[in-house]
Structure 1
Amino acid sequence: MKNEEVARLLREMGDLLELQGENGFKVVAYRRAARSVESMKTDLEEVSRQGGLESIPGVGKAIAAKIDEYLKTGKIESRERLFRETPPGMAEMLSISGLGPKTVSMLHQKLGVSTIAELEAAAREHRVRRLPRMGPTSEKNILRGIERWKKRSERIPLGVALPIAEEILGRLQKVTGIENLSLAGSLRRGMETVGDIDILATSSSPEAAIRAFVELPRVEEVLMKGATKASVIVDETVQVDLRIVDHRSFGTVIQYFTGSKEHNVKLRSLALSKGYSLSEYSLTRVADGEELFFGREEDLYRHLGMEWIPPEIREDRGEVEAALSGRLPRLVEVSDIRGDLHVHTDWSDGLHTMEEMVSTAQGFGYEYMAFCDHSHGLAIANGLAAERLFEKMELIAGLNDQVEGFSILVGTEVEIRADGRLDYPNEVLEGCDVVVASVHSSYHQREREMTNRIISAMESEHVDIIGHPTGRKIGEREAYEVDLERVLEAAARTGTAMEINAHPSRLDLNDRWSRRAKELGVKLAINTDAHSTCGLSAMEYGVKTARRGWLEKGDVLNAFGLRELLSHLGRG
């Protein structure tokens, strides 16, 4: 669906023309055409095929020709020329909240400002406040807008975006007349980072729904407010978009805005092969132009001859072919998880006691939990010497006698030293129910050294799981150099499980490598690595990553019941 793309391009052209001091009527014409295209409920490409572009309100012959050019070639030459003629930094300055073409043009003419960096310097040197209709407040707002722009250019971690989205959804659910509330975009697909938060809904009173949205307590700035769409900023930098759509088209609209682009291209191609043209609003029979509307995604997929495809795997990685042949996996769900096999307590660097962690885990309906405090080599994390670990084992035995319907497993997160040796000798490890082996130091080893280091740890008969296998922290630390293909092949050979660390800053292994592990027959454990009772709730992020990796219940170690788990670990 090109409607929004074309509307954005037309709006851009209007802004660039205004920057260059073009005739005001021409500027207004482009913006009016952009609004009309954006509000259309029919596919612009279909309108073009029928020769109806000039029938769109505000779209005359010249603009229609430019739209047709874009639909046929993917670009508008006059737009490209406008960009070439405009200093690049000035066009970028339009992305600063509160700065329109007139203000940017004035700043350029009066202060010689042509880039965001130059604008920031001018504001910090208090040169902006000396301009007409500007002042200290304007200067402050510009600096705040620049800071937001800098942060907004970074993608938002799943663990930040999802709680914000869920709170907003919860508030909107209480608004009379709003129905079919749903996340869309990369957040619905469970990607580890997202650009912004997209929400779709239907409503019998769209304008009231939009008004309720922009007036939510968390909203700090309203970027755009229309009859059926609004964009706001929350938490300083997070953009949230709400679209109100027709109930009868909700199925096709949510499918389109969920993506991914690659999945949508594949679906459109499939539809064409079956004699249909698929847009965000309907499925149109090419032969006679009859439009079919779907209020539910499931009905759209079914009409195309396939199973409904879970959002997490819509990446054009074989899911369409699997859905057509009835071979989609039954993806693991949070309700399948029976316990957590990597949890820390106040014995090392955790915040809460074992009793407090157990109580919280029971609230999740878990059957078991493995306390895997750090080994003594990680002194910075108050790692346990062997004597303390033995003391802890005795305490766990006593707790197990007191707790009904729940099993506490003796575990450790043992450090894999730089030479591949483990931090505890075999006689200590053999007393544990669960051994998670992890790398926390010497991250800068070469790929061969790091790979051999991890494989050496897996050769130990006592190591059950490799924790956070690449060591990455999203947005903070890159993965260390490691040949994961070799590691996974060794895991398949030794029967070692790989961890999907559910902490939202890790999500390690990622989706692609988790799927590769599954292909090789390697089991995975979705663990929270929780250091507090609150940390246990991170399980949902790990499950989303597992689902993106096509994992099923049988692929996940901690989806096993206790008896099956212990048998698999050789402790049964």
Structure 2
Amino acid sequence: MAVHNVDIADMFDRMAGLLDIEGANPFRVRAYRQAAGTIRDLPESLAAMVADGDDLSELPAIGDDLAEKICEIVETGRFRELEATEKRIPATLADLTRIPGIGPKRARKLHDALGIASLDDLASAAKAGKVRELEGFGEAVEAQFLEAIEAHRSKKQRFRISIAEDYAKGLEAYLKTARGVARVIVAGSYRRRRETVGDLDILATAADGAAVIDHFTRYDEIEDVVSKGSTRSTVRLKSGLQVDLRVVAEESYGAALQYFTGSKAHTVALRKIARAKGLKINEYGIYRGRKHLGGRKEEDLYGALGLAPVPPELRENRGEIEAARGGHLPELVTLDDIRGDLHAHTTASDGTSSLKEMAEAAKAMGYDYLAITDHSQHATVANGLDEKRLAAQLDEIDRLNDGMEGIRILKSCEVDILTDGTLDLPDSILKRLDLTVCSVHYHFDLASKAQTERILRAMDNRHFNILGHPTGRLVGEREPYPLDLDRIIEAAKERGCFLEVNAHPIRLDLDDVHCRAAKELGVKVSIATDAHSTTGLSVMRFGVDQARRGWLEKADVLNTHPWTKLEKMLAR
């Protein structure tokens, strides 16, 4: 069975969590976590790299030792060091740290004092009132744990788009080897590029559907075949991801693709229009009575309804049908429009690639510029830069720019927004920067009004340019902090500030709804990777997907502009 990058990253994260609980060397813990981050950002399969004999130790944050462990996992499906660690520490103990308010130290304390080794143990102890008796916990904390456990259990399993993409590519490649298959495409919410995917809907065209279904159900990652017919099948992979395959004739490809792409609300709206015109549409085509009018292409279906073709990312019934009818669909931003990246870290703070390595990687991608935004001093856990270290880095960037052609490295910093709304570094150093990315990294628990005022006060500083990952959410892991985001967008318009669409798949922050809200108010956004390694620069496509879902066009995005224009836009 193929080993996916996410499998290896999850093993390394689990290892880091258990070692942290055990009180191991923090540098060892950090090494596993950084390696996991690198692996999740990789644009290519580690399994394929191992098969090709590539030197994995050349990857950021992957030394010889971790490279050997990756090879072991790929070749045997086992990680013996993790297995040995789980014999010393209950494997389920790491699950406790998924609950807000429980870090490694608290997890260990709960285990040592009450024998808690799993979420079920924690729930039982909390319901019995035992957690509140421990020093440093209390009744309120106990109640928060119970609420968080319930929310965790009730959450339907969804896969981040980057993880779903890894599985989808493998399935596409496998199905294309089936005899007689002409086309294979993954539809559904995956094609609409939603930030999370509940399952995969795959469409294939072939004359012999049963043969394709037989081939599909032999895929070596399948845990269970839920259903199997002559043209359709549903399976569940070992990862828990459900996959639905439908095989159709070529003449129905376009109609089926539209139907299985969805969304349901968009498709229902199209059917309503069809009925008003005396037509019928389904996954086989578009009909007037029994006469088949078309269905080979999606454009046929939209054209018969008097609509311009709607890009998949917009098919959520949020006004796209009216825009298609009136000829007002946006010309959505594309990855090719991006001229540079405005959020990236180096080894100076918590990145794993050097300044020069990041610059060379950005140049190789064809970028005109790259902003280096290492953390400011308050982010001690990320080895944040104080005024003196940042000044030294700015001098280093000047020297690099003098000796490097074809790209400009922008002098920047990811500046912490302190609780009182001041910025983490003095104006004397901020004024030397080409731009700032200002972010909230702590005290997420402030009330909405206080959190909003905190950011508004920070935006009053004339050196504030871009609000980084504006809501602080982590997809599937941490909810956005309470915030009046509409007020923030309005304030950005008034002050000449901008918002970030953080392209990292675990953030995708802003979300699509607020991307569109910013557009409607005339506030431009930066689509940026928050890269902590050279490979991290490759996740830009996910940010572009998010921007497209928010109806953003090239002109709405800061980093589609050349530096000469961008520099003027950033000036306050």
Counterpart-to-counterpart distance in 2, 1:174 and 1:556: 40
State the AA in 1 paired with 2:233: A
Counterpart-to-counterpart distance in 1, 2:368 and 2:176: 33
Unaligned 5+ residue runs, structure 2?
1-119, 121-152
Aligned position for 2:453: 452
State the AA in 2 paired with 1:259: G
Counterpart-to-counterpart distance in 2, 1:196 and 1:151: 17
Counterpart-to-counterpart distance in 1, 2:217 and 2:536: 31
State the AA in 1 paired with 2:333: V
Counterpart-to-counterpart distance in 1, 2:211 and 2:278: 39
Q: Does residue 473 of the first structure (1) align with residue 474 of the second (2)?
A: yes
1:199: Cα distance to partner? 0.9
Counterpart-to-counterpart distance in 1, 2:453 and 2:180: 60
Aligned position for 1:430: 431
Cα deviation, 1:78-137, whole Å, max 9, x if unaligned, reads xxxxxxxxxxxxxxxxxxxxxxxxxxxxxxxxxxxxxxx9xxxxxxxxxxxxxxxxxxxx
Cα deviation, 1:315-341, whole Å, max 9, x if unaligned, reads 111100100110000011111111110
Aligned position for 1:486: 487
Aligned position for 1:506: 507
Unaligned 5+ residue runs, structure 1?
1-116, 118-149
Counterpart-to-counterpart distance in 2, 1:196 and 1:367: 38
1:32-431 map, 5 Å: 153-285=156-288, 288-431=289-432
Contact 2:217 2:225 in 1 (8 A): yes
Contact 1:152 1:238 in 2 (8 A): no
State the AA in 2 paired with 1:254: L
Counterpart-to-counterpart distance in 2, 1:395 and 1:328: 45
Contact 1:415 1:423 in 2 (8 A): yes
Larger mean CA deviation between 457-466 and 545-554 belongs to 457-466
1:173: Cα distance to partner? 3.1
TM-score after normalising by structure 1: 0.71
State the AA in 2 paired with 1:266: A
1:414: Cα distance to partner? 0.1
Counterpart-to-counterpart distance in 2, 1:233 and 1:303: 37
Contact 1:224 1:230 in 2 (8 A): yes
Counterpart-to-counterpart distance in 2, 1:468 and 1:339: 18
State the AA in 2 paired with 1:380: V
TM-score after normalising by structure 2: 0.71
1:168: Cα distance to partner? 2.0
1:472: Cα distance to partner? 0.8
State the AA in 1 paired with 2:343: H
Aligned position for 1:569: 570
What is the alpha-carbon root mean square deviation over aligned residues?
1.9
Counterpart-to-counterpart distance in 2, 1:235 and 1:509: 32
DSSP-derived class of the 2:413 partner: strand
Aligned position for 1:4: none
Counterpart-to-counterpart distance in 1, 2:389 and 2:457: 26
1:483: Cα distance to partner? 0.4
Contact 2:180 2:207 in 1 (8 A): yes
Contact 2:350 2:382 in 1 (8 A): yes
1:279: Cα distance to partner? 1.6
Counterpart-to-counterpart distance in 2, 1:210 and 1:151: 33
Counterpart-to-counterpart distance in 2, 1:362 and 1:164: 30
Quick one: percent identity of the two aligned structures? Answer: 47
Report the count of equivalent residues: 422
Contact 1:410 1:434 in 2 (8 A): yes
Counterpart-to-counterpart distance in 1, 2:387 and 2:179: 60
Counterpart-to-counterpart distance in 1, 2:453 and 2:241: 42
Larger mean CA deviation between 462-471 and 206-215 belongs to 206-215
> Which structure exhibits the higher relative contact order, with contacts defined as CA atoms closer than 8 Å and separated by 6 or more residues?
2
Counterpart-to-counterpart distance in 2, 1:151 and 1:216: 30
State the AA in 2 paired with 1:496: C
State the AA in 2 paired with 1:373: D
Q: Which of the pair has more CA radius of gyration?
A: 1
Counterpart-to-counterpart distance in 2, 1:152 and 1:411: 39
DSSP-derived class of the 2:342 partner: strand
Cα deviation, 1:440-473, whole Å, max 9, x if unaligned, reads 0111111111101111111111111000101111
State the AA in 1 paired with 2:226: L
DSSP-derived class of the 2:255 partner: helix
State the AA in 1 paired with 2:534: T
State the AA in 1 paired with 2:472: G
State the AA in 2 paired with 1:230: S
Cα deviation, 1:143-200, whole Å, max 9, x if unaligned, reads xxxxxxx899311111211222123223333444222321111111111111101110
Cα deviation, 1:411-457, whole Å, max 9, x if unaligned, reads 10000000000001111111111200000011111111110111111
Counterpart-to-counterpart distance in 2, 1:528 and 1:506: 10
Contact 1:152 1:237 in 2 (8 A): no
Larger mean CA deviation between 482-491 and 353-362 belongs to 353-362
1:226: Cα distance to partner? 2.4
Counterpart-to-counterpart distance in 1, 2:282 and 2:254: 11
Q: Quickly say closer, same or farther: Cα 1:363–1:171, change in 2 above 3 A.
A: farther
Contact 1:151 1:237 in 2 (8 A): no
